[in-house]
Chains A and B, each alone.
Chain A
Amino acid sequence: MNGEVRDLREVIREEMLMRDKIAGILKDGPRTVPEIAQALGHPSWEVMYWVMGMRKYGYVSETGDVTEEGYHRYRVVAREGN
């Protein structure tokens, strides 16, 4: 589904690089992982790592609603302590 399979470690390492780009995309409103992937031009499974890493460390959270296609939307949140 996503073309090239990159090494997991390499994808995860790029979270730090992609964080600001994803936050920039989400400034325009909540997005699903496939929508963010399309905006970034990266496969959804890679974006999944970045968004879930950001979620784990308090940069984004799910909005609570699920699209008809079955996807959560994510939005930028203010990090505790930042």
Chain B
Amino acid sequence: MNYDVLVVGSGIGGMESSLKLGDMGYKVLLVEKEPSVGGKMILLSKVFPTLDCASCISTPKMAATWHHPNVDVMIYSEVEKIKRNREGGFKVRVRRKPTFVKQALCTGCRQCETACNVAVPDQYNFGLVARRAAHIAFPQAVPKKAVIERKGSSPCLFACPAGVKAHGYVALARAGKFDEAFNLVLEDTPLVGSLGRACFALCEAECARGVLEGPVSIRRIKRFIADRYYRLHPEPDHKAPEDLNGKKVAIVGSGPAGLTAAFHLARKGYKVKIFEAAAKPGGMLRLGIPAYRIPRDVVDRDIKNVTALGVEIETGVRVENIQDLKNQGFEAVFIAAGCQGAAKLGVPGEDLAGVFYGVDFLRKMNLGEAVSLGQRVAVIGGGNVAMDTARSALRLGAREVRVYCLEKEGELFASPGEVEAARREGVKIHHARGVRLIKGEHGSVTGLVTVAVKSVFDENGRFNPVYIDGTEEETAADSVIVSIGQRAVLNFTGGLEELTGANGRLAVDPDTLATPVPGVFAGGDVVTGPSLIVKAGGQGRRAAFFIDRYLRGEALEGAGFDYRLPVVDKEEVMARQQSYKTLVPVEKKEILKERPDDFTEVEIPLTEEEARYSAGRCLDCGVCSQCLQCVAACPAKAVDMEMKEETVEAEVSSVIVSTGFRLFPADAKPQYGYGKFRNVITGMEMDRLLAPTRPYNTILRPGDGKVPESVAFILCTGSRDQTVNNRLCSRICCMYSLKHNQLIMGALPLADVTVYYIDIRAFSKGYEEFYRQAKGMGANFVKGRVAKVEEKENGNLILHYEDIDNGGKLSRAEHDLVVLSVGLLPNTEYMNLFDGEELEPDEFFYVKEADEDLNPGKTGIDGVFVAGTASGAKDIPDSILHAGAAAAQAAAHVERMRRGQ
């Protein structure tokens, strides 16, 4: 792209320069970092001294700029670098930030904004009110298009292997939108109830709130959402899609991976059949996890989420040859058979009666088959299955359950919560003990011999336990349950040896989950080895995505499954606030009694109040929560959550820097109490209170909503002030305060207005008359510096000031609203724009003009000009005049380049 002139910044100066150049026939690229053109002027109430409506003056210029045939505007974009090119012009690199809303489709209806569930300070109202993550900058925005503020993926959401949008459903729960929260989880997994109980919540491990009082209780919020929904909806609301695509997919195994894959494939219109070897569906959800952790009715209801879509589950059928399924007309197969085999201990006595394996024991127990354990049970292993086994043994009547594990205390693979629960129920855990042999008499177990462990892993990190001879101990036991691991049982791959990987599990492409056999995919534990429900579910979701592509004849490689924005930096999240109120997590409550005798669920769910409170602890790390309510609400289908950042390069002959100014931060004068006393506001905030699009619909005190009766203005706040290193006059704070005086007296005829000033600088055309007009309307002017402001109990403010006109005595006055007429500061962002050349600042850090009297707008870089307040404080007429001069300078430069001079 080639342009004559690049204009950086679309405030009144940038727009004026662009329009003038465009009218002269020059091609202009105007880059604006905000989602709308207009800068600060469009946010004003009126302009001085004419009291014309700022919007009425600005919006025609904004529209003219946006629609000008010679001006291309890039909003929500930032100039990254400007570098001199060989032709004497400049090469420009611009970063176009994703708005996540297709601008061509957005109608500006604000439906996304009203549906959004994340409230953040509205910077266009200077923090006086909230806006939403999905928002249109302000009502007069040009273009009037929505943007969604997304700082990145929230850590919780980014961590979820199943792609469940944790931040999204937490935000919905916070707002009390529980049905929407359930449906958001259901978008990614049918196992809402099971995951709400037995998920190991990798999301919580990443929660930014964890560095404060503890992470948000994300899993328990999900459980609340699921329990509530299932109570109100015993049967799923969704049905099978009406338009099936006529293709059949077979799934081997009805565990988390198989159910999840079936769910997603059925929603895409496939006819899905699951083959399950066990008598009941659910895989590890039902057969591997005891009912006190996931009640069976919850598993059943989760499965209904799948079968409601028309998925058929045939139980009690063992698939022995994948090829048979293809012969039955299934065009694709997903193998999700899990790890059904048990790892052996390999010690003498392992073949005695009374020796069980954890996974087999749990399966039998969960299918209701009789298991005779006796009174004394020894469990071998330190993982979650070992804890499930031990706690189940107690419930089956064992009087003594001992767990022997190789690891030291605190190093177990089992989650700390499970270990603690097992202890509290009476399980005795023996750390760093290995098994030498299992003893028996008459073919049955009578005890075991354990030995102290010296080390578990060798110097290369491989599992290679070393025992300490001479530390053997014998313990009596009626049964031993070996729970040291599981392995895949590949008894269904007849004739397809290429399916089997070197590790004894199925070999797949880790991205697509495709096996070497066309049309056969595999995932879950049978591929990964024993893992987590949520990881298996994630594999099922992934498999469904690639099976769908395979069956539609699309390439599998590079398909971009599950695109997520980079995770947001937690330190950046924490730095957004200066302080945090302590919000203690709701304590996890379980019914844990010694030697429990039934399989009643142990965890006590959150109440609705607790769920909302817990959700309210969320810090909205990514800002947008990805609750997707905007997607549902948008009638134009304009929301695009996968929109990506773009880099645009252009060649230009000249550059106009019109980056404007910064307002003096009022809290840098702490004696005035800004930020601490809520009824102390800035001049810009008063402008917003007076504007047609005002945040309160009237003039109110932010502290309590009272209509103010006595308003004070403190002029020269942060200007002409050596104590804050800004000795310049702001040039505008006198006049905008006089404007405010008159507008307040017009809107609130009974209100008193007092101006504390050093001197009134009414220097331009009509300004002196404007000052007299304010006086004539009744504004009270007090000559003197305000030393400090104090707050009373009722929110009123006491000003201590030097009363110069009355002999310089120190006086006090009470007002119920104080406006700090803050000055201007240079916006130094321009300093980073140029590569290889320096855009020189003046002594106050505004852009230095080479000769502001005779050559206004010209900077120290040939071909680069400055417009408006980027070169120094100016009022609006002067800014426009200056921008015109800069445009003329740029046009002359372009002409000189064209003539080769």
Residues in A lying within 8 Å of B, measured CB to CB: 1-2, 4-10, 12-17, 19-20, 32-34, 37, 44-45, 48-49, 51-53, 55-58, 62, 66, 69-72, 79, 81
Question: Is A71 a contact of B121 with CB atoms below 8 Å?
Answer: no
Question: Is B706 a contact of A70 with CB atoms below 8 Å?
Answer: yes
Question: Is A19 a contact of B175 with CB atoms below 8 Å?
Answer: yes
Question: Is B579 a contact of A72 with CB atoms below 8 Å?
Answer: no
Give chain A nearest CB distance to B487 CB in angstroms.
48
Question: Is B129 a contact of A52 with CB atoms below 8 Å?
Answer: yes
Beyond A14-B616, A33-B704, A44-B705, 17 additional pairs, beta carbon < 8 A: A1-B703, A1-B792, A2-B678, A7-B580, A9-B120, A13-B118, A16-B119, A16-B174, A33-B705, A45-B703, A48-B702, A51-B705, A53-B130, A55-B697, A71-B704, A71-B705, A72-B707
Listed by A's residue number, 30 A-B pairs whose Cβ atoms lie within 8 Å are A1-B704, A1-B792, A1-B795, A2-B678, A2-B703, A6-B579, A8-B121, A10-B580, A12-B119, A13-B118, A13-B119, A13-B120, A13-B616, A15-B119, A15-B130, A16-B117, A16-B175, A17-B174, A17-B616, A20-B176, A45-B702, A51-B705, A52-B696, A53-B130, A55-B697, A56-B129, A57-B113, A62-B697, A70-B706, A71-B707
Give chain A nearest CB distance to B551 CB in angstroms.
39
Bound-complex Cα distance A44 to B702 (A): 9
Which residues of B in the span 603-634 have a Cβ within 8 Å of any Cβ on A?
612-613, 615-616, 618-620
Q: Which A residues touch B615, using CB under 8 A?
A: 17
Please tell me if B427 contacts chain A, counting CB pairs below 8 Å.
no
Please tell me if B676 contacts chain A, counting CB pairs below 8 Å.
yes
Q: Which A residues touch B114, using CB under 8 A?
A: 57-58, 79, 81
Partner of A70, one of B117, B618, B696, B709: B709
Please tell me if B695 contacts chain A, counting CB pairs below 8 Å.
yes
Give chain B nearest CB distance to A34 CB in angstroms.
6
Please tell me if B127 contacts chain A, counting CB pairs below 8 Å.
yes
Give chain A nearest CB distance to B696 CB in angstroms.
6
Question: Is A34 a contact of B117 with CB atoms below 8 Å?
Answer: no
Q: Which B residues touch A6, using CB under 8 A?
A: 579, 581
Bound-complex Cα distance A69 to B121 (A): 29
Partner of A9, one of B121, B176, B612, B676: B121
Q: Which B residues touch A4, using CB under 8 A?
A: 581
Contact with A along B173-188 (1 / 0, CB 8 A): 0111000000000000
Q: What 10 A-B pairs come out closest when comparing CB atoms?
A: A33-B705, A44-B704, A53-B130, A17-B616, A1-B795, A45-B678, A7-B577, A16-B175, A70-B707, A15-B119
Bound-complex Cα distance A21 to B515 (A): 54
Please tell me if B791 contacts chain A, counting CB pairs below 8 Å.
yes
Given contacts A1-B795, A16-B171, contact A7 B129 (CB under 8 A): no
Contact with A along B726-748 (1 / 0, CB 8 A): 00000000000000000000000
Closest to B578 in A: A7
Q: Which A residues touch B698, using CB under 8 A?
A: 62, 72
Q: Which B residues touch A32, using CB under 8 A?
A: 705
Q: Which A residues touch B706, using CB under 8 A?
A: 69-71
Please tell me if B602 contacts chain A, counting CB pairs below 8 Å.
no
Question: Is B130 a contact of A12 with CB atoms below 8 Å?
Answer: yes
Give chain A nearest CB distance to B25 CB in angstroms.
43
Give chain A nearest CB distance to B465 CB in angstroms.
50
Q: Which B residues touch A58, using CB under 8 A?
A: 114
Which residues of B in the span 85-132 have a Cβ within 8 Å of any Cβ on A?
111, 113-114, 117-121, 127-132
Q: Which B residues touch A12, using CB under 8 A?
A: 119-121, 130
Which residues of B in the span 684-740 have a Cβ within 8 Å of any Cβ on A?
695-698, 700, 702-709
Closest to A58 in B: B114
Q: Which B residues touch A81, using CB under 8 A?
A: 111, 114
Bound-complex Cα distance A10 to B209 (A): 13
Bound-complex Cα distance A56 to B487 (A): 59
Partner of A7, one of B113, B579, B700, B795: B579
Q: Which A residues touch B675, using CB under 8 A?
A: 5
Residues in B lying within 8 Å of A, measured CB to CB: 111, 113-114, 117-121, 127-132, 171, 174-176, 576-581, 612-613, 615-616, 618-620, 675-678, 695-698, 700, 702-709, 791-795
Given contacts A16-B119, A33-B705, A81-B111, contact A72 B130 (CB under 8 A): no
Q: Which B residues touch A71, using CB under 8 A?
A: 704-707
Q: Which A residues touch B118, using CB under 8 A?
A: 13, 16
Give chain A nearest CB distance to B606 CB in angstroms.
14
Closest to A45 in B: B678
Give chain A nearest CB distance to B663 CB in angstroms.
17
Q: Which A residues touch B132, using CB under 8 A?
A: 57
* Most chain A C-beta atoms within 10 Å of own C-beta, residue among B129, B576, B705, B708: B705
Closest to B797 in A: A1
Bound-complex Cα distance A9 to B581 (A): 11
Q: Which B residues touch A8, using CB under 8 A?
A: 121, 127
Question: Is A48 a contact of B704 with CB atoms below 8 Å?
Answer: yes
Bound-complex Cα distance A79 to B705 (A): 22
Partner of B695, one of A2, A7, A56, A70: A56
Give chain B nearest CB distance to A45 CB in angstroms.
4
Closest to A7 in B: B577
Bound-complex Cα distance A15 to B114 (A): 13
Question: Is B612 a contact of A17 with CB atoms below 8 Å?
Answer: yes
Bound-complex Cα distance A48 to B702 (A): 7
Closest to A37 in B: B704
Question: Is B111 a contact of A9 with CB atoms below 8 Å?
Answer: no
Bound-complex Cα distance A12 to B578 (A): 14
Q: Which A residues touch B174, using CB under 8 A?
A: 16-17
Partner of B676, one of A5, A20, A48, A56: A5
Give chain A nearest CB distance to B542 CB in angstroms.
32
Closest to B633 in A: A81
Q: Which A residues touch B704, using CB under 8 A?
A: 1, 33-34, 37, 44-45, 48, 71
Closest to A12 in B: B130
Q: Which B residues touch A15, using CB under 8 A?
A: 119, 130
Question: Is B130 a contact of A56 with CB atoms below 8 Å?
Answer: yes
Give chain B nearest CB distance to A75 CB in angstroms.
14
Give chain B nearest CB distance to A56 CB in angstroms.
6
Bound-complex Cα distance A56 to B131 (A): 9
Question: Is B794 a contact of A1 with CB atoms below 8 Å?
Answer: yes
Closest to A1 in B: B795
Give chain B nearest CB distance to A10 CB in angstroms.
6
Given contacts A7-B577, A81-B111, contact A48 B705 (CB under 8 A): yes
Q: Which B residues touch A45, using CB under 8 A?
A: 678, 702-704
Q: Which B residues touch A70, using CB under 8 A?
A: 706-709
* Most chain A C-beta atoms within 10 Å of own C-beta, residue among B111, B117, B702, B793: B702
Give chain A nearest CB distance to B169 CB in angstroms.
13
Q: Which A residues touch B578, using CB under 8 A?
A: 7
Question: Is A34 a contact of B705 with CB atoms below 8 Å?
Answer: yes
Partner of A10, one of B581, B697, B792: B581
Q: Which A residues touch B612, using CB under 8 A?
A: 17
Bound-complex Cα distance A13 to B132 (A): 10
Bound-complex Cα distance A50 to B882 (A): 42
Give chain A nearest CB distance to B732 CB in angstroms.
26
Bound-complex Cα distance A81 to B113 (A): 13
Q: Which A residues touch B695, using CB under 8 A?
A: 52, 56
Q: Which A residues touch B577, using CB under 8 A?
A: 7, 9-10
Give chain A nearest CB distance to B710 CB in angstroms.
11
Give chain B nearest CB distance to A9 CB in angstroms.
5
Closest to A51 in B: B705
Q: Which B residues touch A56, using CB under 8 A?
A: 129-131, 695
Question: Is A66 a contact of B707 with CB atoms below 8 Å?
Answer: yes
Bound-complex Cα distance A17 to B616 (A): 6
Give chain A nearest CB distance to B344 CB in angstroms.
53
Bound-complex Cα distance A1 to B702 (A): 12
Q: Which B residues touch A72, using CB under 8 A?
A: 698, 700, 705, 707
Closest to A44 in B: B704
Give chain A nearest CB distance to B189 CB in angstroms.
24
* Most chain A C-beta atoms within 10 Å of own C-beta, residue among B113, B130, B175, B698: B130
Give chain A nearest CB distance to B633 CB in angstroms.
9
Bound-complex Cα distance A5 to B708 (A): 22
